Amino acid sequence: MSEPEHYSFCVLLTGAATPLHKCARVVEGDGRLRDVTMHKAATMYYLQGQTMESIAAHLHTSRSSVSRLLSQARESGIVRISVAPLEETGSHLARQLHEAFGVHAWVVPVRPGASQVRRLSQVAAVAAENFMQMIAPGMVVGFAWGNTTAEVIRHIPRREIPDVTLVQLNGAASHETTGVPYVGAIMAEAAAALGARSVHFPVPAFFDYAETKQAMWREGSIRQVLDLQRRCSLALFGVGGLTAEIPSHVYSQGYLSREDLNALDADRVVGDVCTVFIRENGTYRGIELNQRASGPTPDELRRIDRRLCVVAGPAKAPALLGALRAQVATDLVVDEQTARQVVRLAQK
């Protein structure tokens, strides 16, 4: 039997439009009245520990109405709930990952038999909460596009943080697409949630020739984005797996030819980080495609102070092991099954 998880529980109530002890009567149907009622119900339930029945009696309504008020309070952001492992206990798997790779890990329990879509959603929700605790005013934050980061951003609450700049870490264009609709939507959603400005990286995910990349890297407009990437103090990225349950975007959307995939197999590649390919032993040099890749290498990623890696799905365990051995992450959010598989692979 695995060691039980230990968690701290925190509920944050945002300010109501009207102080609770001075709730003025307003016109019935006014949204302000409902906000005040939601805040009052949330305060009584979460902070005062009252039952739904006692709240219903106090508000002269039904228990089901109180339940709806509490749900709406969570959805609207009046109530924000965070669950985090206690530092002094943590989880057995998180400690193992920290001892083996020096990474601060959050291991997310997922119900056995859950679909991969459900698994990713649960991991992304925890990752979004941790990301919001890491970000601060004035930061330059790097994003590597992909299915995982798109899901994390979908869970980010709307909370404006002053003077934040979001910068795309890896190019997205291919022979079949500019990449703008996909990556642009991810960046726009993140920028809207944080009140931030976003900076795109208008280059291919993979150049046809290494010489072309070297020439582009000398262009002034591209150098401005590269300089901004170097100023990042926080990065958010996933790990792509060649055999993931939900195919990584880079492997399923025409970015790689059959010849490319055969070459990766010959090079013993297990996945990628920011579209830079890695082996299970953590190495990335000597892989021809990496000479043409537009994303930051593991060496370049390590220059960023805080690096949040998010992974869901045991099929990505070999790729995650390679990423951890390459020391690309300072922080990791991963589901429990994948974490166990990584530990088993590492012990081999």
Domain ranges of the chain: 7-81, 91-347
pLDDT computed for residue 4 by the predictor:
40
What pLDDT, on a 0 to 100 scale, did the predictor assign at position 27? 32
Q: What is the pLDDT of residue 28?
A: 34
Scanning the structure block, which residue is given the tokens 């193992």? 96
| pLDDT at res. 3 | 41
pLDDT at 71 (0 to 100): 83
**Domain 91-347 coded CATH 3.40.50.1360:** yes
What are 216-258's pLDDT values in tens digits? 999 999 999 999 999 999 999 999 987 666 556 676 667 788 8
Beta carbons of 106 and 335 less than 8 angstroms apart: no
Q: How many residues does the chain have?
A: 348
> Residues in the chain with pLDDT < 70?
1-33, 81-90, 177-180, 243-249, 251-253
User: Looking at residue 24, what is its pLDDT?
Assistant: 29
Residue 173: how many other CB atoms lie within 10 Å:
19
| CB-CB contact of 201 with 327 (8 Å) | no
The mean predicted confidence, pLDDT, of the chain is: 85
What pLDDT is attached to residue 22?
A: 31
List of E strands, 18-177: 79-85, 104-108, 140-143, 165-168
Quote the pLDDT of residue 83: 58
